[in-house]
A = this chain, B = another copy of it.
């Protein structure tokens, strides 16, 4: 039987492997043809072999030039994204690209231009939009159940900071970590950000400060539709991966709490205990990665433009840039100041 979508995957690191497993097990009518990675070693070969992946390569051109392949998943390092998106677009292949598209606004804009001219579809992997809880929040908002959004409140806290070496090349907390929250805030507000005020501090690890970054951050967003956003981040919430979203609207409030590890309560003579919330982002968002891929291919199937789009990817980076500037200058910064 011939499958409709023949897929190539660029990048077989942690997130690339996750996408591949979802493609194989959870997305129907897909055929995975080629996987490329900068480093094809025995371990990767064995991993691919166990999953029945027929072709591994270090040469991405094999993917771009394969006439059968019509969809490409880009899960390589961020600095390669715009190049691969452009090459894929030039090869007339639809694209699913991990976030962020890039950290340079002009490069992103030029890339989106190429995508537009070639007429292919592009989706950026802001997977949290596909978390069942946050989708349910969105549904409550767009159905009108809570009225017009007035305050968008996002709590997004990592359980532990990444290695300092990673921090140094991360682009800073607002681009590396808050990027998900800019996207979530825009998604739930249903409006673009006009102005951002960002504040923060080094409260977790002085080494993060020495590396030129902060580890605790808050931001206030002003949306074009009048709504206000507030986001708080930390690199280290020792009690687990804390991910909550709340929308106050004119008719009510909708709130998504953390996923629980289990539903068990233990009552003792001292207190009542509940197990910790899941610690790691893959545990929490596992399902969302499969849901986003299914959605992407469903859009291709129905010739719809998937979101988060390339424009979403651009806007999220613009907000991050404005937040960085705001934090540095300790003043609210309009998006128009960084989008020239």
A220 in complex: contacting residue of B148, B204, B220, B331, CB < 8 Å: B220
Docked complex Cα distance between A25 and B203 (Å): 43
* A52-B52, A228-B201 as given contacts; A252 in contact with B266, CB under 8 Å: yes
A272 in complex: contacting residue of B50, B228, B239, B248, CB < 8 Å: B239
Chain B residues contacting A268 (CB-CB under 8 Å) are 145-146, 238-239, 251-252
Chain A 200-218, CB-CB to B under 8 Å as 1, else 0, gives 1101100000000000101
Chain A 26-68, CB-CB to B under 8 Å as 1, else 0, gives 0000000000000000000000011010000000000000000
* A52-B52, A199-B197 as given contacts; A237 in contact with B253, CB under 8 Å: yes
Closest residue to A21 on the B side, CB-wise? Answer: B25
**Is A226 among interface residues, defined by CB-CB distance under 8 A?**
yes
Stretch at the interface among A69-77, A149-157, A161-169, A176-184: A149-157
**Is A258 among interface residues, defined by CB-CB distance under 8 A?**
yes
**Is A271 among interface residues, defined by CB-CB distance under 8 A?**
yes
Chain B residues contacting A336 (CB-CB under 8 Å) are none
Chain B residues contacting A332 (CB-CB under 8 Å) are 197, 199, 330-331
Chain A 305-340, CB-CB to B under 8 Å as 1, else 0, gives 000000000000000000000000011100000000
Stretch at the interface among A10-18, A80-88, A113-121, A132-140: A132-140
Kindly provide the distance from the CB of A148 to the nearest chain B CB, expressed in whole angstroms: 8
A273 in complex: contacting residue of B204, B218, B256, B272, CB < 8 Å: B272
Docked complex Cα distance between A321 and B25 (Å): 42
A271 in complex: contacting residue of B50, B216, B276, CB < 8 Å: B276
* A252-B239, A264-B137, A270-B276 as given contacts; A197 in contact with B200, CB under 8 Å: no
Closest residue to A28 on the B side, CB-wise? Answer: B50
In the complex, the answer to whether B272 meets A275 with C-beta atoms within 8 Å is: yes
**Is A298 among interface residues, defined by CB-CB distance under 8 A?**
no
Docked complex Cα distance between A153 and B264 (Å): 14
- 11 inter-chain pairs at a CB distance below 8 angstroms, sorted by A residue, are A150-B201, A201-B228, A203-B250, A216-B228, A218-B220, A238-B250, A239-B267, A251-B268, A254-B266, A270-B276, A271-B275
Please give the residue numbers on chain A whose beta carbons come within 8 Å of chain B beta carbons, in ascending order. 1, 25, 49-50, 52, 132-133, 136-137, 140, 145-146, 148, 150-151, 153, 155, 157, 197, 199-201, 203-204, 216, 218, 220, 222, 226-228, 230, 232, 234, 236-240, 242, 248, 250-277, 330-332
